[in-house]
Amino acid sequence: MVYPTITTITKLELDLDALIASVTLPSTGAAAIFSGIVRAKTERGKAHETSYLEYEAYEPMAEAKMRQVANEIRTRWPLVEGIAIVQRIGRLYPQTPTVMIICTAEHRDTGVFDAARYGIDRLKEIVPIWKKEVSPEGEFWVEGEYIPKSGE
Amino acid sequence: MRVKIFFFATVREYVGAKTIELEVPPQTTVAMLKELLVKKYPQMAATQKSIIAAVNSEYAADEILIPTDAEIAFFPPVSGG
């Protein structure tokens, strides 16, 4: 059985219903979904407001690394069936979904929650996407902390 | 040999270009290419420590040799999501 794996960088609005449908099989009984959303007000750390985020990606490598994240999920949680990893790029305003990770399985006790969590954590480590934050005070690039190893 | 180089995020802004092509000697490593670029674009020195390199879409440490017709990318730690 070949399970569906969707890995996409897109400038278009994310469609959660369509994405769930694309990883729903006759055997599917559970879908764990994570979505990142542009936050207008940040309280944690240095409190500030955000006007919008500007995303860019190194697309061929980003899609290859998303496939790698999906493969890592399959190795760790063999009961996960469908996987979708989709990142929207371009200018995204507060309350807009930016990223969606969906893992489906027959049942909820198959690791789907952990698998979706791993998907977003790993995307933030190795998938070459960046965002610039624009606020009333100015603009700055958000930089991650993870330095991938050769071939990772 | 000729290589194609892409820059992203802060590195793209420091360099002032999305992509360039460059002639480099055979047996050039990622570290040597970084040095070459910092000479060409001194602004890059500010972020040199946290610059990540990819060769043909794979993360590449300083000692990695650059193959012929490689597509290279330099960028800061990623921040998607």
Tell me if B71 is assigned to some domain: yes
pLDDT tens digits for range B10-51? 999 999 999 999 999 999 999 999 999 999 999 888 776 689
Give the whole-angstrom CA distance, residue A76 versus residue A56: 29
pLDDT tens digits for range A11-64? 999 999 999 999 999 999 999 999 999 999 999 998 999 999 999 999 999 999
The interface residues of chain B toward chain A in range 15-54, judged by CB-CB distance below 8 A, are: 50, 52, 54
Across the interface, whether the CB atoms of B76 and A61 are under 8 A apart is answered no
Residue-range domain boundaries for chain A: 5-138
Tell me if B81 is assigned to some domain: no
Residues of B in contact with A62 (CB under 8 A): 80
pLDDT tens digits for range A91-113? 999 999 999 999 999 999 999 99
- For residue B66, the domain's CATH number is 3.10.20.30
- Arithmetic mean of pLDDT, B68-79: 96
Q: What is the ipTM for the molecules in this complex?
A: 0.94
Which among B5, B49, B78 is the top mutation candidate for probing chain A, defined by the most A β-carbons within 10 Å of its own β-carbon? B78
Tell me if B36 is assigned to some domain: yes
Which among A121, A142, A152 is the top mutation candidate for probing chain B, defined by the most B β-carbons within 10 Å of its own β-carbon? A142
CATH class of A5-138: alpha beta
Angle at A20 between CA A88 and CA A52, to 5 degrees: 25
Whether the Cβ atoms of residue A132 and residue A38 lie closer than 8 Å to each other: no
Across the interface, whether the CB atoms of A58 and B58 are under 8 A apart is answered no
Whether the Cβ atoms of residue A70 and residue A88 lie closer than 8 Å to each other: no
Take residue B48 and report the two structure tokens written for it. Answer: 């040199």
Residues of B in contact with A142 (CB under 8 A): 79
Q: Decide if B58 touches A, using CB distance below 8 A.
A: yes
H helices present in chain A, as ranges: 16-22, 59-76, 112-126
Residue B11's domain comprises 2-75
Tell me if B62 is assigned to some domain: yes
Q: Per the structure, how many domains does chain B have?
A: 1
